[in-house]
Amino acid sequence: MLDGLLLAKTVVTGSVVIGLSILAERAGPRIAGVLAGLPLGTAILYFFIGLEQGPGFVVAAAGHTLGGLIATLALCYAYWQASRHATDPARRLRGLARACLAALPAFGLAAWLLSLLELGFAAAAGLTLVAIAAAMAAMHAIPEQAMVRRVRLTPLMLLVRAGTAVAVVLAVTGTADLIGPHWAGLLSGFPLTFFPLLLVIHASYSAQHAHGLLRNFPFGLGSVTAYIVCAHFAFGALGVVAGSAVSMAAGLAYLLAYWLVSRALRPRRGGGAPA
């Protein structure tokens, strides 16, 4: 049973990351950035944590995961600021390393500060929405980039795309009983499908293309918020499998509503709304 779960975690997580990477290459950062905000990473973590620790653990962790989303926005902002002037293609990898060295500590620091707060679930949800709105405003100035060429999928590229996400899933689910719902929830907010995608796009194209993903990511993050809010109530009432399905439906409903609204507003705004 344990070996089967380990294999399932690895296969599911790796497949999701690789699929998002292929989508980013074919559709460009605008669509990929929004879809990367889908609750795929959180859903994977919640599903396996729920199976191993029980649905009550997920219910207790949900409010803390909202805090993890705020830490993720801190990661994105730090990544952007650390790489915004890295325009020299010859120094792309150096700029990527500098961005990682700024982004990961930013997530850790933000998560630690949030762990000190005693927020109820409603307060955590409200604070998360405020943080998303602030990130939208802050990153609106980032110009969008279109990918003009595809990157050949090599074994090393696949390893980079899937390895980080799989490592986070195995680490969080494997230690959930030790770190408890508080830190398991915070770490569940880590962008385990988005961050490897961001690194690959930065390494394969440029910092500007990575910024195109960052610009649109907060718009899609509302989908994760909808998933978590629904999971807080659905997992306890419906169990892990049905709760996961209902919560994912809530996340998809947000994304559909966002797409319809942005499409309706696009003619008035001259095509400026993300889609």
**115, 117, 81, 69 alpha-carbon torsion, rounded to 10°:** 70
Nearest of 229, 231, 267, 263 to residue 57 by alpha carbon: 231
How far apart are alpha carbons 111 and 268 in whole angstroms?
Answer: 39
Lowest mean pLDDT among 17-31, 168-182, 244-258, 260-274: 260-274
Q: What is the pLDDT of residues 145-200, one digit of tens each?
A: 655 555 555 666 667 667 777 787 778 877 887 888 888 888 888 887 788 778 87
User: Which of 219-222's residues contact partners 24+ apart within 8 Å by CB, and which partners?
Assistant: 219/33, 219/34, 219/37, 219/136, 219/258, 219/274, 220/33, 220/34, 220/35, 220/36, 220/37, 220/38, 220/255, 220/258, 221/37, 221/69, 221/72, 221/73, 221/132, 221/135, 222/37, 222/132, 222/254, 222/258
Assess contact for 99 and 83: CB atoms under 8 A. Answer: yes
Examine residue 202 and state whether it is found in any structural domain, yes or no: yes
Q: What is the pLDDT of residue 269?
A: 46
Q: Cα 214 to chain center, whole Å? A: 11
Query: Hey, what are 103's tokens?
Result: 């982004």
What lies within 8 Å, CB to CB, of 147 at 6+ separation is: 24, 25, 28, 29, 201, 205, 209
In a domain, 274, yes or no: no
Q: What is the chain's mean pLDDT, rounded?
A: 81
Q: What's the total number of domains in the chain?
A: 1
Domain housing 9: 2-265
| Any domain includes 89 | yes
Q: Please tell me the distance from the alpha carbon of residue 131 to that of residue 116, in angstroms, as a whole number.
A: 17
* Amino acid at residue number 135: A
Domain assignment of residue 273, yes or no? no
The whole-angstrom separation of Cα 110 and Cα 68 is: 8
**3-state class of 28 per DSSP?**
coil
Asked if residue 79 belongs to a domain, the reply is: yes
Task: Please report whether residue 217 resides in a domain.
Answer: yes
- Higher per-residue confidence, 12 vs 130: 130
Q: How many angstroms separate the Cα of 91 from the Cα of each of 25, 29, 98, 142?
A: 22, 21, 11, 20
User: What is the DSSP secondary-structure string of 96-149?
Assistant: HHHHHHHHHHHHHHHHHHHHT----HHHHHHHHHHHHHHHHHHHTTSPP----S
Q: Each residue of 4-61: pLDDT tens digit?
A: 667 777 777 777 777 766 665 666 555 665 666 678 788 888 998 998 899 999 999 9
Tell me if the pTM is above 0.85: no
